[in-house]
Structure formats: structure tokens, C-alpha cells
Amino acid sequence: MIPWLDNATPFPPLESALREPNGLLAAGGDLSPRRLVAAYSKGIFPWFSPGEPILWWSPDPRMVLFPADLKISRSLRKTLKKSGYAVRADTAFRTVMQQCAAPRDGQPGTWISPAMIAAYTELHEQGIAHSVETWANGKLVGGLYGVALGRMFYGESMFSLASDTSKIAFVHLARQLERWGFGMIDCQMKTAHLATLGAREIPRAEFGKNLAKLVNLAGITGPWRFDNDLAE
């Protein structure tokens, strides 16, 4: 059994999360900025199907990337050197979320509902949620979005309309975050896609210790702008 949250109920201890399904912690509550910030500051994220109750998760182990551990394959390095791509931050947040929510081959639907888009757009307007975008010939062709608290970044979703364009955005993000002193990128659950970029699983207890330090550091306020040598 997991607890049901009303809009004022705090989250239960992470140790009470279920082992199966891995990390399911609680249900209910809302997607207000206050609730979302409280969740992310503890290493909790929402993930649920549209029309169903909000479900809150804290899996063990946790997939993360330490920015200094970024790995770039030879083929991706060649792609990064090609002219024609520009990487920007925070210029098309809602569009990035909508693209992440678009139907994909082999998937029956999406968890990124209009309510989720509205909630994270509100966080973006408060300078808490951010997008990283890959552009080609003036068109958005890939990107990702996530949440930043202190010097901690939580990746949420990414999309590609052309080969490697989400990876291009992710590489630029990791490089910029390392320069800014961010210590960790949360990737939530294990994926082969992110493992190729250097992400790995760590115990939830280790994740929590790192998180507690990073979220209390001074953050980067306002809309993000990447360094010029990373943005082109």
C-alpha cells in the first residue's frame, strides 16, 4: 500500500517506496509549483498516465550522469563538429514539451498530458524548468526539458526529429552544467540511450546525499543562456 496525498500532505520517507513497481512512493496531491519543488528537492518525480491519479516515484537505484563523466562516441563527435546545428536554451520551452509528448513509434500514448505541460510551463516562467533546443535551418529538430534546483538538474524527457539531435542538446547541457558547477543530472530510470553518454545507476541513498548538498547551492537564475562556444 502507498499513502494517498491531499494537497497539504507531505511526502512519506523515501525508504517506504515500493520495490515493485520500483520506486512507487505515493499517489494524489497536485502539480502546483510548491508541490513539484518539494518533490524534486527530495528526489521525487511525478509519472502517471493521463486520466489516472498522480503517482510519485523515487526508484532505487537511480540513473544519473555526473557532468564530468560525459562520454561522446566517435560518430557523435563528428556530428557535433558539423555546421548547421545551433543549440539554445529557454527559447521554446512549451514547444519542446509538446514535441516530447508527440506520438512515437511503438508507444501507445504519452504521460506528458496537457496538465503536465501547463504545470511545467509555470515552473519555466518562474525560472525553475528549462529547455535545451537543437535548431537546424531555423527549425526545432530536437531537444529536452527538465528542472533545476540549486546546482542540480533533473532531466524529464527529450525528443529527436533528426538523427542524434536530442544527444546534441544533452551534450551541450552537460558541458554547460559542468562549467556552472552543477554536480549531477538526474536521468531517473535506466536507459541504454543515456548509458551511452556516460550515465550510470547509483543507490538511492547515495543519490539522496548528493542531492541534499546540491539543491542548497545558489542556482542560475532567470532564463538560461549557454556560453557562445557551446551554443553554435
How far, in Å, CA of 222 to CA of 200, rounded? Answer: 30
Identify the CATH number of the domain in which residue 54 sits: 3.30.70.3550
pLDDT given for residue 230 in this prediction: 74
Q: Do 40 and 70 share a domain, yes or no? A: no
Q: Which three cell numbers stand for residue 31?
A: 502539480
Q: Which residues contact 107 (CB under 8 A, 6 or more apart)?
A: none
Number of domains in the chain: 2
Q: What DSSP state is assigned to residue 232?
A: -
Query: Which run of H or E residues covers position 155?
Result: strand 152-160
What is the reported pLDDT for 113? 95
Q: Which domain holds residue 80?
A: 63-231
**92 and 191 fall within a common domain:** yes
Q: What's the confidence (pLDDT) of residue 232? A: 45
User: Consecutive sets of 10 residues in the chain, 232 residues long: mean pLDDT of each?
Assistant: 93 97 97 98 96 96 98 92 88 98 72 96 98 96 98 97 95 97 96 94 98 97 88 47
56-206-69 Cα angle (round to 5): 100
pTM over 0.75: yes
Pair 10, 95 in one domain: no
